[in-house]
């Protein structure tokens, strides 16, 4: 549906005022779709956001609690990690699930693919998966991470999501879509 | 549930390598939760993301198509706009719905409140609403915007969202939650 639409923005010059291993900021001078002069600051991500919702045979799942530096706030989320551009979101999902929860899963099903997390300013995209056929082992968190792990029933997680006790959008979007797929009998 | 968790990060110095009217980039030298030295680049947003899903009595809704500069891609989304920090998301929702679609609504119900759009790097938060009791007028888009407006049935929009023909996460999360609220008889 979207292939016939041409880019109405013109870009004249791009500067790179900041970068670190995770993001690169581009400052562009542009002509807007209305034909007026303007600027656009784009935050380019070096990683894709990847989330996993594990489900055991009794419909239990596992969530991860961590302090989010950006918002100065504690946050419960589905297991998530960054996938370097050009590598496989599914491999990242498998690695992060194992590292954060110790879980290995036999069956993987895509839930979200190439969603745009904040497309007015960033080019960050996200993927998520449901993991089934679980074997529980020991977690191996990265050294910068201080994580709490909690096993809860999916019904309780959905309830937390509906009441906004989950605020991370990749988690919310995955939980809601998993519920709709379960209701459709697809999962 | 989250109030007992203390910030395990220590911040030593913050620099501000870039800002424009929409974002401010902060580069912090930190000690990580593991006690190791590190850096954190945070993108602070000057606006809250606000979305509206209008619904008429026949369950029709309106979506907005625009070219997203950041991803070099055309995107269909629910009507959205930026709410300056400290002002009311609901007032922004009313203004953006009127500007983008020409619609005025009598009844407003919150769908998402203070969701975190990309909390590993940004502090951006989002709100969304369902708008009912609609009066249709003429749209008044901002001069930088070049928008297409489409009236479709909510069932068709949900189908687009499930098939990822909608990729904007605030839109997706709102559409999914509205479907769940409709199924629960709350909407």
Q: CA of B44: which chain A residue's CA is closest?
A: A70
Q: What is the 3-state secondary structure (H, E, C) of chain A?
A: CCCCCCCCCEEEEEEEEEECCCEEEEEEEEECCCCCEEEEEEEEECEEEEEEEECCCCCEEEEEEEEECCCCEEEEECCEEEEECCCCHHHHHHHHHHHHHCEEEEEEEEEEEEEECCCCCECCEEEEEEEEEEEECCCCCCCCCCCEEEEEEHHHHHHHHHCCCCCEHHHHHHHHHHHHHHHCCCC
Query: pLDDT by residue (tens digit) across B58-107?
Result: 999 999 999 999 999 999 999 999 999 999 999 999 999 999 999 999 99
Asked whether the ipTM of the predicted complex exceeds the cut of 0.90, the reply is yes
Say what the pLDDT of residue B1 is: 42
Over residues B139-159, mean pLDDT:
86
* Predicted confidence band of residue B19 (pLDDT cuts 50, 70, 90): very high
Q: Is the pLDDT of residue B27 over 70?
A: yes
Flag if B120 and A70 touch (Cβ within 8 Å).
Answer: yes
Say what the pLDDT of residue A173 is: 98
Say what the pLDDT of residue A146 is: 76
Over residues A7-26, mean pLDDT:
97
Q: Is the pLDDT of residue B2 over 50?
A: no
* Predicted confidence band of residue A143 (pLDDT cuts 50, 70, 90): low
Query: pLDDT by residue (tens digit) across A29-85?
Result: 999 998 999 999 999 999 999 999 999 999 999 999 999 999 999 999 999 999 999
Q: Which of B18, B130, B95, B155 is nearest to A19 (CA)?
A: B18
Assign 3-state DSSP to chain B and report helix, strand, coil percentages, each to 5.
Answer: 20, 50, 35
Say what the pLDDT of residue A144 is: 66
Size of interface A-B (CB pairs under 8 A): 220
Flag if A169 and B115 touch (Cβ within 8 Å).
Answer: yes
Nearest to A180 among B27, B125, B176 (CB): B176
Say what the pLDDT of residue B37 is: 97
Domain spans in chain A, listed from the N-terminal domain onward: 10-45, 47-183
Residues of B in contact with A34 (CB under 8 A): 143-146
Say what the pLDDT of residue B104 is: 97
Return the percentage of chain B with pLDDT > 70, whole number: 95
Q: Which residues, at least 6 apart from B112, have a Cβ–Cβ distance to it below 8 Å?
A: A164, A172, B51, B126, B127, B128, B170, B173, B174, B177
CB A45 within 8 A of CB A35: no
**Structure tokens of A130?**
């449901």
Secondary-structure class of domain A47-183 per CATH: alpha beta
> How far A39 CA sits from the closest chain B CA (Å)?
9
pTM of the model: 0.95
d(CA B121, CA B40): 8
Query: pLDDT by residue (tens digit) across B4-18?
Result: 578 999 999 999 999
Flag if B70 and A162 touch (Cβ within 8 Å).
Answer: no
Q: Is the pLDDT of residue A5 over 90?
A: no
Q: CA of A32: which chain B residue's CA is closest?
A: B144
Flag if B144 and A75 touch (Cβ within 8 Å).
Answer: no
Say what the pLDDT of residue A29 is: 98
Residues of A in contact with B117 (CB under 8 A): 117-118, 169
Over residues A100-110, mean pLDDT:
97
Q: Is the pLDDT of residue A2 over 90?
A: no
């Amino acid at each position: 549906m979207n292939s016939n639409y041409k880019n109405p923005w013109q870009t004249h010059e791009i500067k790179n005022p900041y970068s670190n291993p995770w993001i690169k900021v581009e400052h562009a001078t542009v002509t807007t779709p209305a034909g007026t002069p303007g600027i656009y600051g784009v935050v380019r991500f070096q990683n894709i956001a990847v989330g996993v919702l594990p489900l055991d045979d009794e419909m239990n799942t596992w969530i991860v609690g961590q302090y989010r530096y950006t918002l100065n706030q504690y946050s419960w989320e589905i297991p998530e990690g960054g996938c370097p551009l050009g590598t496989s979101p599914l491999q990242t999902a498998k690695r992060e699930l194992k590292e954060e929860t110790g879980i290995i899963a036999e069956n993987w099903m895509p839930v979200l693919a190439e969603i745009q997390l904040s497309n007015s300013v960033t080019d960050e995209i996200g993927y998520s998966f449901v993991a089934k056929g679980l074997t529980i082992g020991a977690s191996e968190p990265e050294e910068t991470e201080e994580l709490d792990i909690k096993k809860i029933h999916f019904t309780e997680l959905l309830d937390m999501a509906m009441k906004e006790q989950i605020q991370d959008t990749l988690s919310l979007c995955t939980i809601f879509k998993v519920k709709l797929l379960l209701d459709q009998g697809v999962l």
